[in-house]
């Protein structure tokens, strides 16, 4: 679609969105009122800059369904992502939303030439995380055969990859590297028919792309998405692999200065912001992703006119991604506060053990039980580990240390020691 024509489509959809939000979602009615914007004020896409932002905390304030723009009877699916404390960020879909999602996921897979006859090995997690079902519906939509593996159980994954003739691999890049290593050890790589892989949900590098392509003999494509916007399907690389084309007819991207929140010119690095143009159940206005990147509206050799986002180079908040799971230090703190015998003095140590990330949580025992002996401290460690797993969904190595051994800082507490380097 030519850019000018798409611009008109986006504008029409944006006007419709503002009308729906001000009519049906109290939080947006209030935000729009505070910004002094009425639906009639939107005359061009440049007026986007006058609209209020949405942040993750808006989900927390309205948990679980306060951002719904339809009646609950219209909702057919719910997913969730990490919240900053104990409660997750809940997102909902109407039948039309699931259809839109399948459509953008079909485009994602087609960008790598996937279609009938392909066997899609889907090792993204099924469940509340959007990765598994997003790829599942997209693969069905393009007529491929889906193997719904979900994550983990590497030996079983290897057997399925080989025996079922997978041609397409979908998982996080770090897990793909782990699979590659395990396949090499088992002498399986030559028996694989893999052709292309769709990797995302966590930051990765060109060095890692090179490693995946050589070791698995595939084309490795970067995908980017987030639950709040729809899940995977927001953007994908074409075979040129110079940035990820955004499904702009559904998700309108902007780059803003994270401090001033002013829109930045094309090419500048800043925070990525999305407005959902067609979503029905939980449409969002200028959602601040907290991801840092650039936008490139220049022509692409593949012929697509859709704008491209570059690699995600960082975050404007303290969210960590560990084995594809989003983790906020505040969530760990929330878990620790629920265990009576430890103090909320803690340090998160991240390491890369061969290919997979590990998380060590060092936490101080309460003075009263510090002398209780090693067994008691080990038992306490087990309780903490279970609690963290319950709250965050991730297994951590827990070290319960004596009181006052974790360094106190004078200013902002240093809670994270990230020893993973460069992502490769």
Residue (55 or 302) nearer to Zn ion, CB: 302
Residue 222 binding result from ligand AMP, Zn ion, none, given CB thresholds of 5 to 8 Å by partner type: ligand AMP
Q: Is 149 exposed, middle or buried (0-12, 13-18, 19+ CB in 10 A)?
A: buried
In the complex, least distance from residue 222 CB atom to ligand AMP, rounded to whole angstroms: 5
Sign of CA dihedral 265, 266, 269, 274: positive
In the complex, least distance from residue 112 CB atom to Zn ion, rounded to whole angstroms: 12
Among the listed ranges 25-33, 114-122, 193-201, 236-244, the one in contact with Zn ion (CB under 5 A) is 236-244
Among the listed ranges 69-77, 297-305, 350-358, 415-423, the one in contact with Zn ion (CB under 5 A) is 297-305
251 Cβ contact partners less than 8 Å away, ≥ 6 residues apart = 229, 230, 234, 235, 274, 275, 276, 277
User: Where do runs of H (alpha helix) occur along 112-220?
Assistant: 130-141, 154-163, 173-185, 206-216
In the complex, least distance from residue 90 CB atom to ligand AMP, rounded to whole angstroms: 12
HSE, CB side, 13 Å, CA atoms: give it for residue 262. 4
* Contacting residue, 57, 99, 185, 240, with Zn ion by CB under 5 A: 240
Among the listed ranges 20-28, 185-193, 239-247, 321-329, the one in contact with Zn ion (CB under 5 A) is 239-247
Using CB under 5 A as the binding rule, whether residue 302 contacts Zn ion is answered as: yes
Residue 133 binding result from ligand AMP, Zn ion, none, given CB thresholds of 5 to 8 Å by partner type: none
Binding site for ligand AMP (CB under 6 A): 81, 130, 200-203, 222-224, 226-227, 289, 291, 312, 321, 326
Residue 60 binding result from Zn ion, ligand AMP, none, given CB thresholds of 5 to 8 Å by partner type: none
Q: Say how many Å lie between the first and final Cα of the chain, rounded.
A: 37
Helix axes 3-24, 26-35, angle to 10 degrees: 110
Tell me: cis bond preceding 64? Omega within 30 of 0 counts.
Answer: yes
Using CB under 5 A as the binding rule, whether residue 300 contacts Zn ion is answered as: yes
DSSP helix/strand/coil, 92? strand
Instruction: Fill in the DSSP letter of residue 267.
Output: T
Using CB under 5 A as the binding rule, whether residue 17 contacts Zn ion is answered as: no
Residue 292 binding result from Zn ion, ligand AMP, none, given CB thresholds of 5 to 8 Å by partner type: none
* Helix (H) / strand (E) containing 356: strand 356-365
Residue 202 binding result from Zn ion, ligand AMP, none, given CB thresholds of 5 to 8 Å by partner type: ligand AMP
Contact residues: Zn ion, CB under 5 A: 238, 240, 300, 302, 304
């Amino acid at each position: 679609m030519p850019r000018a024509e798409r611009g008109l489509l986006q504008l029409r959809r944006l006007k419709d969105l503002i009308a729906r939000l001000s009519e049906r979602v109290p939080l947006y009615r209030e935000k729009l009122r505070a910004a002094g914007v009425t639906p009639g004020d939107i005359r061009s896409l440049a007026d986007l800059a006058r609209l209020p932002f949405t942040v993750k905390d808006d989900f927390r304030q309205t948990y679980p369904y306060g951002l719904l723009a339809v009646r609950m009877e219209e909702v057919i699916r719910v997913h969730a992502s990490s919240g900053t404390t104990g409660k997750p960020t809940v997102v909902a879909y109407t039948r039309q939303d699931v259809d839109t999602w399948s459509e953008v996921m079909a485009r994602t897979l087609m960008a790598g030439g996937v279609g009938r006859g392909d066997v899609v090995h889907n090792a993204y997690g099924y469940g509340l995380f959007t990765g598994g079902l997003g790829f599942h519906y997209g693969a069905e939509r393009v007529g491929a055969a889906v193997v719904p593996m979900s994550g983990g159980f590497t030996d079983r994954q290897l057997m399925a990859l080989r025996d079922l003739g997978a041609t397409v691999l979908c998982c996080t890049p770090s897990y793909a590297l782990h699979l590659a290593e395990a396949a090499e050890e088992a002498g399986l790589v030559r028996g694989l028919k893999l052709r292309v892989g769709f990797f995302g949900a966590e930051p990765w590098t060109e060095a890692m792309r090179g490693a995946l392509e050589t070791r698995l003999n595939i084309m490795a494509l970067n995908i980017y998405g987030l639950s709040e916007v729809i899940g995977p399907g927001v953007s994908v690389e074409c075979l040129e692999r110079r940035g990820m084309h955004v499904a702009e007819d559904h998700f309108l991207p902007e780059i803003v200065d994270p401090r001033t929140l002013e829109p930045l010119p094309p090419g500048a690095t800043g925070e990525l912001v999305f407005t959902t143009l067609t979503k029905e159940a939980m449409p969002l206005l200028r959602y601040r992703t907290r991801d840092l990147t650039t936008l490139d509206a220049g022509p692409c050799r593949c012929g697509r006119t859709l704008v491209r986002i570059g690699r995600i180079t960082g975050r404007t908040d303290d969210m960590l991604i560990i084995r594809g799971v989003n983790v906020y230090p505040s969530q760990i703190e929330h878990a620790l506060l629920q265990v009576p015998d430890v103090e909320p003095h803690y340090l998160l140590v991240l390491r890369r053990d061969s290919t997979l990330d590990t998380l060590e949580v060092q936490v101080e025992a309460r003075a009263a039980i510090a002398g209780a002996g090693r067994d008691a401290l080990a038992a306490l460690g087990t309780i903490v580990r279970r609690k963290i797993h319950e709250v965050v969904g991730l297994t951590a190595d827990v070290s319960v240390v004596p009181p006052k051994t974790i360094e106190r800082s004078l200013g902002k507490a240093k809670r994270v020691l990230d020893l993973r380097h460069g992502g490769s």
